[in-house]
Structure 1
């Protein structure tokens, strides 16, 4: 169970300056201090616990979850969270932590061709094929692979569209949000005081700018996913178990 003091220490209550707020977030605010909006942590705790159970159930059913967070504070945490979740739910969680490519979801057939090209280049590099090429051609292949890996590496093993997309930093990820809505893919969004709750199917009212706040939320979700999947397989849950081990 999430404790309010943990949320407070992680800074989940800190919103944006009142000049930047979205009036639609009024019902999720506790108040204002020194010109900064304060989010209601009671609501945050409830929504966070519901989210943990929800994502755990999705992954138990072998469905796909896509994490999207391209801003500097979120990028590394998004990749790490996906990798940690996949220890328990192999290939269940994918991520985009650099620029969202237009058509990532709505033009998935083209994206799959790009992913196939990335996998082909991976094989060629692994087998030493690049070493057999002229220097200039090898450099071009290496550059192409690096670029594809940067933008598509997190979805390289996503063989079909996700069941749920988790958005971190809604104002920066509106293209992803609109693609989800166009395809009727559910999105789960961290709602800071400058976000629009009408664009989210599910949400957690929370600070989405602080590394500490994002780390707390994503770590809480990761641990919940591990617990759900282990319990589904009748394996006793041990929060101190080394995550690199399979059980």
Structure 2
């Protein structure tokens, strides 16, 4: 994957621009290339290597069937993340992070089910029996729930991983994931502490071009993982449908002829006593 990542593309997207030197986090020192005009410049070769590492891990998670939750509530990132995550068929949060989204997941699921109940009422005609005021209240509740939780309606269990843009802004999401030992993937700028995440991608998390480029690489890796999972399922289904070839019955082996019984020795003829006496008398004479 790293071979497919062009450093020039990262450079053109402005991925290398960090924050002002006075706002840096010393733990980001290994990923900083130099200082220019009071701004830290990120080492893009290390960025490419980290993109490769994170992409491989995310591909495996997607191939295993687990969901990856994308989180980005900052203005310049929300539309990009929503678009990329939707293409990869993954849940995302681009509005305010609901407190307890992960640590109190059961309550969040109840809110999602409430939204689905309203949809069922509209489908089966029960919604039409309500008064005008009740309809208005229901529609407002439905719009509010859809805005905050509509993108995670299909997430029936805790995600297998989190992908975060700007870990300083999404610190609540980071803390909840840490409590539940959920792997955290993130774009980390020079003003953030990389020790908070499991897979960091040192990059500019403020410019929309930089965010679009990094999230694009990540979402492509997730789509690859889903494609591998689908191909594996199809191959498994084909294997089950195809009957196993019947083994041909081998002809029965011919019975070996029984060994011939050894011939009994001929009996020795006994001399008659009269004849023996005659022969003895002849010798005396």
Counterpart in the other structure of 1:170: 167
Structure 1 residues 111, 234: CA separation in 2 closer, same or farther (over 3 Å shift)? Answer: closer
Mapped pair 1:43 → 2:46: yes
Structure 2 unaligned segments of length 5 or more: list them: 233-285
Deviation (angstroms), 1:129: 4.4
Deviation (angstroms), 1:229: 3.7
Deviation (angstroms), 1:233: 4.9
Kindly indicate whether the alpha-carbon contact (under 8 Å) linking 2:63 and 2:228 is maintained by their aligned counterparts in 1.
no
Specify which of 209, 215, 218 is matched with residue 218 of structure 1. 215
Mapped pair 1:149 → 2:152: no
TM-score under structure 2 normalisation? 0.76
Hey, what's the Cα distance between the residues in 1 that align with 2:68 and 2:221? Answer: 15
Mapped pair 1:184 → 2:184: no
Structure 1 unaligned segments of length 5 or more: list them: 87-92, 236-247
SS state at 2:88 partner: helix
Counterpart in the other structure of 1:82: 85
Counterpart in the other structure of 1:26: 29
Counterpart in the other structure of 2:101: 104
Q: How does 1:50-129 map to 2 (within 5 A)?
A: 50-86=53-89, 93-127=90-124, 129=126
Hey, what's the Cα distance between the residues in 1 that align with 2:142 and 2:148? Answer: 10
Counterpart in the other structure of 1:10: 13
* Stretch moving more, 70-79 or 223-232: 223-232
Mapped pair 1:140 → 2:143: no
Counterpart in the other structure of 1:204: 201
Deviation per CA, 1:20-56: give whole Å up to 9, x if none. Answer: 2111111111111111111110100001112122111
Hey, what's the Cα distance between the residues in 1 that align with 2:177 and 2:8? Answer: 34
Aligned CA RMSD, in angstroms, stands at: 1.7
Counterpart in the other structure of 1:243: none
Number of residues paired by the alignment? 229
SS state at 2:213 partner: helix
Deviation per CA, 1:225-246: give whole Å up to 9, x if none. Answer: 33344355559xxxxxxxxxxx
Hey, what's the Cα distance between the residues in 2 that align with 1:112 and 1:231? Answer: 29
Hey, what's the Cα distance between the residues in 2 that align with 1:171 and 1:132? Answer: 48
Structure 1 residues 72, 128: CA separation in 2 closer, same or farther (over 3 Å shift)? Answer: farther
Mapped pair 1:195 → 2:192: yes
SS state at 1:59 partner: helix
TM-score under structure 1 normalisation? 0.87
